[in-house]
């Protein structure tokens, strides 16, 4: 299972209906955060993402993307956490993050290792990986991609029975790529196992102008979460501030051939009309969704149907 929970979807500052940037990403038992804006720990309680976070990936060191680390660390300390919590951020972020870790907490009962990442550097987890990639935001900033390795091909049980393979451990050996012998005949895996199937890939742009590196990272991805701070009418403003419009984000998604596009980091000026942003994006990328706080999305495998986004409330 890969589940995304949008904890904060506002740009720059919170609004009545939106907190600032943070997304909880759960893969099986692992939980990570993409950014941790102010008040994230409350949003985690409100939307039930849980506090068993192993890693926080910060896209860049702007206040609306990392200030929530201070409050979250204090909450975890008061809860008696003992396991390390790893922080990942672009090169040059360590000084600010060390100060944030110490702020308001005399002594943490757990370690908070800080890791500076370079573009294309990987962080390996249990059976999958996180990949950093460069984005364009006027400061050192990264996007992140969660990627899984290929899965085993489908096992043809009927064909195995036809070949005389008894159900049980021999099925497992064949599925794992091992040839077996049954009644004097050697049976090879490719006789009963299909081609490897791709794993899932979920890409998070962080704050950025549309750029080639995001397209490359997102090529063929199951989900692209891309910032869309402004409507198309504010293209000049987006360019000046290092952000993207709805249409620009949709063009990135279309160029990358992703299966689903989720737009986030929405300016407060669109609080009362998020549907306008969605309609603009859908002209270029049909099915694009503007995220809202509490939105949850489960990411299926590429050979399965997409599960509609749900949860929270669209009321702003």
Query: Could you read off the pLDDT of 103-147 as tens digits, one per residue?
Result: 867 789 999 999 999 999 999 999 999 999 999 999 999 999 999
Q: How many domains does the chain have?
A: 2
pLDDT at position 106 is 73
Residues 41 and 123 in one domain: yes
Last residue of a domain, one of 167, 191, 215: 191
Q: Indicate whether 305 belongs to any domain.
A: no
pLDDT at position 254 is 98
Q: Indicate whether 46 belongs to any domain.
A: yes
Residues 11 and 126 in one domain: yes
- CATH label of the domain that carries residue 102: 3.60.15.10
Residues 74 and 181 in one domain: no
* Residue 90 near residue 119 (C-beta atoms within 8 A): no
pLDDT at position 315 is 44
pLDDT at position 308 is 61
Last residue of a domain, one of 138, 166, 191: 191
> Is 64 considered catalytic here?
yes
On the CB side of 96, CA atoms within 13 Å amount to 16
Domain range for 95 = 2-151+197-298
Which parts of the chain register pLDDT below 50?
315-316
This prediction has a pTM of 0.92
pLDDT at position 310 is 64
Q: Considering 64, 207, 222, 293, which one is annotated as catalytic? A: 64
* Residue 31 near residue 52 (C-beta atoms within 8 A): yes
Distance CA(133)–CA(310), nearest Å, equals: 28
What does each C-alpha distance from 116 to 13, 128, 194, 214 come to in angstroms? 26, 20, 40, 20
Residues 9 and 99 in one domain: yes
Residues 288 and 228 in one domain: yes
């Amino acid at each position: 299972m890969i589940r995304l929970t949008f904890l904060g979807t506002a740009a720059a500052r919170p609004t009545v209906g939106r907190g600032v940037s943070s997304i909880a990403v759960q893969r099986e038992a692992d939980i990570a955060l993409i950014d941790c804006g102010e008040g994230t720990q409350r949003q985690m309680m409100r939307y039930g993402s849980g506090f068993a976070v192993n890693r926080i990936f910060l896209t860049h060191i702007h206040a609306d993307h990392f200030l929530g680390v201070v409050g979250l660390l204090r909450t975890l300390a008061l809860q008696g956490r003992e396991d390390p919590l790893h922080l990942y951020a672009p090169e040059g972020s360590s000084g600010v993050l060390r100060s944030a870790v110490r702020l308001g907490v005399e002594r943490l009962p757990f370690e908070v290792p800080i890791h500076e990442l370079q573009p294309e550097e990987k962080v390996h987890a249990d059976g999958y990986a996180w990949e950093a990639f460069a984005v364009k935001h006027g400061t050192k900033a990264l996007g992140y991609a969660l990627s899984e390795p290929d899965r085993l091909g489908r096992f043809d049980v009927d064909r195995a029975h036809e070949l005389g393979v008894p159900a049980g451990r021999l099925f497992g050996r064949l599925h794992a790529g091992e040839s077996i012998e049954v009644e004097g005949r050697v049976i090879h895996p490719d006789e009963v196992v299909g081609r490897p199937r791709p794993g899932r890939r979920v890409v998070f742009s962080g704050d950025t102008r549309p750029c080639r590196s995001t397209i490359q990272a997102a090529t063929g991805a199951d989900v692209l979460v891309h910032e869309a701070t402004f409507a198309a009418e504010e293209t000049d403003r987006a360019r000046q501030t290092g952000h993207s419009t709805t249409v620009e984000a949709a063009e990135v998604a279309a160029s990358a051939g992703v299966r689903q596009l989720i737009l986030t980091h929405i300016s407060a000026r669109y609080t009362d009309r998020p549907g306008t942003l969605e309609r603009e994006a859908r002209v270029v990328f049909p099915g694009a969704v503007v995220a809202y706080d509490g939105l949850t999305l489960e990411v299926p495998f590429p050979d399965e149907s997409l599960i509609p986004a749900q949860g929270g409330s669209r009321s702003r």
